[in-house]
Amino acid sequence: MSKHRVSRRQFLNYTLTGVGGFMAAGMLMPMVRFAVDPVLKASASGDFIPTPQKISEITEEPTRVDFSFEQKDAWYTSEVTNTAWVYKDENGEIVALSPVCKHLGCVVDWNTDKANQNRFYCPCHGGLYEKDGTNVPGTPPIAKLDVYPTQEKDGFLLLGKAKPREEA
């Protein structure tokens, strides 16, 4: 009888320690991550990323340029491919627009909606933007498409981090 009781208590003890250990580990791991994460993050921003697009081949027609880089998403790194719509404006300046719709973040396409030639079109809720990225009133988006800062190196286009535009 008494032997039984001890073993039950022991059993409880073991279980509780076990659960406690688990909980401690569960609490500790995120804390370590929070502590380490900002350090990891700092290195990934502010750089210009090379693209395969030759500056000399950029025309007045927006063209899709894909470029890949390593991104730190929370605490893991992955290879991401981003896209820009790139063209030269009437002054010959290079414009690189982010394809991410300012409504809810779908990817917009150039000139794909037959009823809206020469505009960016968002397939999700019919958002529209003019060639310069200005949102067309009456469609869901409420801001212009973000722009990438651009740079040139050895004849190729480099892109920075896309930024929202200041409202005029």
What whole-number distance in Å separates Cα of residue 122 and Cα of residue 49? 26
Nearer to another protein, 49 or 106 (CB): 106
Query: Which of ligand FES, another protein, none is residue 42 near (CB under 5 to 8 Å by kind)?
Result: none
The separation between CA 80 and the C-alpha centre of its own chain, rounded to angstroms, equals 8
Please give, one letter per residue, the 3-state secondary structure of the chain. CHHHHHHHHHHHHHHHHHHHHHHHHHHHHHHHHHHHHHHHHHCCCCCCEEEEEEHHHCCCCCEEEEEEEEEEECCEEEEEEEEEEEEECCCCCEEEECCECCCCCCECEECCCCCCCCCEECCCCCCEECCCCCECCCCCCCCCCCECCEEEECCEEEECCCECCCCC
Residues 64-123 that bind another protein (CB under 8 A): 101, 103-107, 122-123
Query: Which of ligand FES, another protein, none is residue 29 near (CB under 5 to 8 Å by kind)?
Result: none
Query: Which of another protein, ligand FES, none is residue 159 near (CB under 5 to 8 Å by kind)?
Result: none
Select the residue interacting with another protein from 9, 125, 153, 163 (CB under 8 A). 125
For residue 144, which of 162, 164, 125 has the smallest C-alpha distance? 164
Nearer to ligand FES, 33 or 125 (CB): 125
Residue numbers at the binding site for ligand FES (CB under 6 A): 101, 103-106, 122, 124-125, 127, 140-141
Nearer to ligand FES, 94 or 124 (CB): 124
What whole-number distance in Å separates Cα of residue 76 and Cα of residue 37? 10
Select the residue interacting with another protein from 140, 143, 160, 162 (CB under 8 A). 140
In the complex, least distance from residue 103 CB atom to ligand FES, rounded to whole angstroms: 3
Query: Which of another protein, ligand FES, none is residue 107 near (CB under 5 to 8 Å by kind)?
Result: another protein
Query: Which of ligand FES, another protein, none is residue 49 near (CB under 5 to 8 Å by kind)?
Result: none
Site residues (vs another protein, CB under 8 A): 101, 103-107, 122-125, 140
